[in-house]
Amino acid sequence: MVSYRLDSSLAWYLLVNSSTPVGIPRRKPVPPESHWPPQSRQRVGTGGPVGLLSFSMTGAELTSTLRSRIQAHPEWYHTIELAPGLETPGWFDLRQVAGRVLPASLKGKRCLDVATFDGFWAFEMEQREAREVVAIDLLDPELWDWPAETTPEVMRTVGARKGAGEGFLLAREALGSKVERVALSVYDLDPGCLGMFDVVYVGSVLLHLRDPVRALERVRSVCKGTLLVVDAIDPLLSLSFPRSAVATLDGIGRPWWWRPNLACLARMVRSAGFKVLRRPRAMFLPPGKAQGRPGLSLGALSVREGRQVLMRTYLGDPHGFVMAVPAPLGPAQQRR
């Protein structure tokens, strides 16, 4: 069994890595001296600006202050280069992935980043000259979709990793970004509230939702252009059932719910009212510096959880990439 699974991992690795990265020029961070954002346009629940950096500081002082603030932040999800050579130690380093998912230019587009966390994808869209980028996130972990068996300790521990989203504010300020973050659940997306978007990015959040199709329906309600979904998939189910839409359900203790195979991720997008363009692709999300590398041991390989950790830390987190556009709505959807 173990060797079958290892072989599957290898096959999966080859499958994923056969796709050619498109690549875009790397972000050129603005030197710290000119990192001054215009007046914050933050809305509901975003908190004020972090106010870490001051006009009177020299470049060296700014870099040193920024470095210590990066280190003081308890946990970064994203690896983001905030100044030349100054990166946040994230759980994931998605810089290469962005070049395979986002077009080289988003000039003039109005973009939405769903579940932004530290804001990596929103800042990448802004870097590609989007006209406006709005990022939503559910900042209060108590409002996430917790399964019935979740204990208060688990809620506290998992919620503490996210904090109150201060990482986004620090990154936004350091980058001189104008991305507007709105505290909003994906379930509450509404064209009357945020308007319509040319490009919507949905990343690594469907896994955390009890009802991913309903969430995608709400995304459909604000998307008038392109939808880009990059979300967790089950690699073994993707290899074993390449054409059938199947998923595993966690839903015990932690806010981890459905892990679809690649075909199922694409089906979810279609069920929510989108037309899937081109063949969905599998990819690994590379680990960042925050993820240590556990040693390879037979003990770790013999249990499912251990194999998952090894795969995630050595190869990356298996995800699927689906690109879609809104399809005409049926009568039931039109009434909603």
Ligand X SMILES: C[S@@+](CC[C@H](N)C(=O)[O-])C[C@H]1O[C@@H](n2cnc3c(N)ncnc32)[C@H](O)[C@@H]1O
Q: Which residues bind ligand X (CB under 6 A)?
A: 77, 115-117, 120-121, 136-138, 144, 162, 185-187, 203-205, 208-209
Cβ closer to ligand X: 53 or 322? 322
Nearer to ligand X, 173 or 231 (CB): 231
Q: Closer CB to ligand X, residue 204 or residue 291?
A: 204
Q: What's the closest the beta carbon of residue 326 comes to ligand X, in angstroms?
A: 20
Strands 132-137 and 110-114, by their bridges, are: parallel
CA distances for 40 relative to 25, 62, 115, 132, angstroms: 28, 20, 20, 14
The distance of closest approach from Cβ of residue 281 to ligand X in the complex, given in angstroms and rounded to an integer, is 16
The distance of closest approach from Cβ of residue 17 to ligand X in the complex, given in angstroms and rounded to an integer, is 20
Instruction: Compute the least distance from the CB of residue 65 to ligand X, in Å.
Output: 26
CA separation for the pair 14, 17 (Å, rounded): 5
How far is 162 from 26, CA to CA, in rounded Å? 27
The residue with its CB nearest to ligand X is 203
| Helix, strand counts (H, E) of the chain | 13, 13
Residue number, 32 or 235, with CB nearest to ligand X:
235
Shortest gap between Cβ of 7 and ligand X (angstroms)? 29
Nearer to ligand X, 62 or 186 (CB): 186
CA distance 323 to 174: 31
d(CA 70, CA 58): 18
